[in-house]
Amino acid sequence: MKKISLFLLALVAIVELQAQKLPDLDASPADIVYFRPNGRNAEPTIARVIYGRPAKKGRTMLGGTEAFGKVWRLGANEATEIKLLQDVTFGDKKVTAGTYTMYAIPTEKDWTIIFNTKLDTWGAYSYEEAKDVARVTVPVGKAEKEVENFTITFDGKDNAAVMVFAWENTMVKLPIKY
């Protein structure tokens, strides 16, 4: 009788564990990209970017869900964060080594990329312009093919490169000198 009771108790515990659900996974998973000018296996020398990768899912995102002319977190969920491993010049603006939140103000013709000192923010809801350290405006280009998930990557070698932002049919390239 004691063995049957222990067996039933164990069975109930197993059923209860199986019935517990994990929290819903994030619809816009986080990603990390490093700039490694000497290839994938090289040490990162310039920057690390952590950002959320929202999906288009049949929607109009730029100029739709993400309105033109408004500060945007440059991804999904938490605002995009960049850690600069050395002083870098974006466009014509020098930004010292350190960690920053990145935002953008997209329009149909150009994007203003913003580097801000307020960290650990969700979305752009608590964005504070007074904490901007640099703003760089770059023209909008066209992606070769439609990009379903918002993407940030780097391209370049030697002392010059670009940080690339791509989504839908849009591609924006932010020049970098280091």
Q: What is the pLDDT of residue 154?
A: 95
Q: What is the pLDDT of residue 13?
A: 56
Query: Which of 43-47, 114-118, 129-133 has the weakest average pLDDT?
Result: 43-47
pLDDT at 10 over 70: no
Helices (H), the chain: 2-19
Q: What DSSP string runs through 91-110?
A: TTEEE-SEEEEEEEEE-SSE
pLDDT confidence band for 25 (50 / 70 / 90): confident
Q: What is the pLDDT of residue 4?
A: 64
What letter would DSSP give residue 56? -
pLDDT confidence band for 18 (50 / 70 / 90): low
Per-residue pLDDT tens over the stretch 151-172: 999 998 777 899 999 999 999 9
Per-residue pLDDT tens over the stretch 39-79: 888 888 899 999 999 999 999 999 999 999 999 999 999 99
Cα(49)–Cα(165) distance, integer angstroms: 12
Q: What is the pLDDT of residue 16?
A: 61
What letter would DSSP give residue 130? G
pLDDT confidence band for 107 (50 / 70 / 90): very high
AA letter at 106: P
Both tokens of 93, joined, read: 């603006």
Q: Are strands 93-95 and 98-106 parallel, antiparallel or unpaired?
A: unpaired
